Every structure is written in C-alpha cells, then in structure tokens.
A = this chain, B = another copy of it.
Amino acid sequence: MNALPILEPATKETCCPPAGTVLGAEAAKEKAIIFKALSDPNRLRLLSIVKAEASGESCVCDLTEPLDLGQPTVSHHLKILVDAGLLHREKRGTWAYYSLAPGALDKVTGILANL
C-alpha cells in the first residue's frame, strides 16, 4: 500500500507553522488568564510592592495606602492575582499576608518564551 499520508501542518510550507509549535485554543485561554491578571496597573503595582518587601510578604493592611484605594478594591485585585497563581495568600490572625507564588514570574516568562 502506498497510501499517501495525511498531510501534517509540519510539512506545509505555504501558510502555517508546524502544528506542535502553535498555541492551541484551550492552552491560550489558560495563559490569557494570567496576562489578564497582569493587565491592570493597580495589580502590577501590588505585585511590585509585594515583590519588593524585604520580608517576602505584605499584609493586606499595608497595601491599601500605597495605592490610595479602599481595602475592598485592593482585596478584589489581590484575589485576581491569587486566582491566576501569581500571589500566595496566607491568613494569620486578623490579616491576610501575600507573597509572590514561588516560580510564578518565571512561569510567565516561560509562557512568553514558548508562545
């Protein structure tokens, strides 16, 4: 049998890049959530403040003033960052403390490198 193989995009030269190297729809949705979390100036500043904190974590009580936002708004932004896997949240006593999720920024860098 000399059945012609089904052409894989990898063998095409006219328009499309190899299939394996192009981001699929589902993967793109997942990754877009992370960039969506990063797409707000206040959330970028929250990440920056948490990252710069010498102790490695910031109390939510210390995050409202630098941004000049109310605590509900800050908590809303923090939740988006936690849900996207960028921040880690730990409740201790009255307050919640936020730290960069280990490897989170490297993961985003990896997404960009492997687009």
Q: Give the residues in chain B near A16, CB-CB below 8 Å.
A: 49, 62, 66
**Min CB–CB distance A9 → chain B (angstroms):** 5
Option from B28, B39, B62 in Cβ contact (under 8 Å) with A35 = B39
User: Known contacts A25-B41, A25-B45; can you find 11 more A-B pairs with CB under 8 A?
Assistant: A9-B66, A14-B62, A21-B48, A21-B52, A22-B52, A23-B48, A31-B41, A32-B38, A32-B44, A35-B39, A109-B109
| Chain A positions near chain B (C-beta within 8 angstroms) | 7, 9, 12-18, 21-25, 28-29, 31-32, 35-36, 38-45, 47-49, 51-54, 58-59, 62, 65-66, 105, 108-109, 112-113, 115
